[in-house]
Amino acid sequence: QVQLVESGGGLVQPGGSLRLPCAVSGSIFSINAMGWYRQAPVKERELVAVITSGGSTNYADSVKGRFTISRDNAKNTVYLQMNSLKPEDTAVYYCNADLVPVGSYDYDYWGQGTQVTVST
């Protein structure tokens, strides 16, 4: 059974940093794009950053220059380094992976989410 497990969330002051890892486990044939989304209260879930299997990245305009997405293919892990955090970054952050489990088909998988709160 494929699972995505996020960690690293928490409370941080404005201007601070956090690093969110997301580890993919299970019987996996291949992982294509991996990404991070977030959902703030009373708002829709939005894309934060995505990284392809080849390492190409794309970011939401609101986080460009502050957040960095990376992945370790040997560990099936994607990371989101968040710097210069702002109160408006407060949200539940979700990991996403477009992957092919062994013996199955391409499908989108989601983690359970991790809370990030930026506040004094």
Q: Is 49 helix (H, G, I), strand (E, B) or coil?
A: strand
Contact 36, 93 (CB under 8 A): yes
Amino acid at residue number 37? Y
Q: Exposure string (b/e) for 5-29, b if CB count within 10 Å is 16 or more?
A: ebebbeebeeeeebebbbbbeeebe
Largest CA distance in the chain: 49
Per-residue pLDDT at 93: 98
Instruction: Write out pLDDT tens, residues 4-56.
Output: 999 999 999 999 999 999 999 999 999 999 999 999 999 999 999 999 999 99
Which residues have a Cβ under 8 Å from the Cβ of 64 and sit 6 or more positions away? none
Per-residue pLDDT at 11: 98
Sign of the CA dihedral with 40 first, then 42, 48, and 100 last = positive
pLDDT: which is higher, 29 or 85: 85
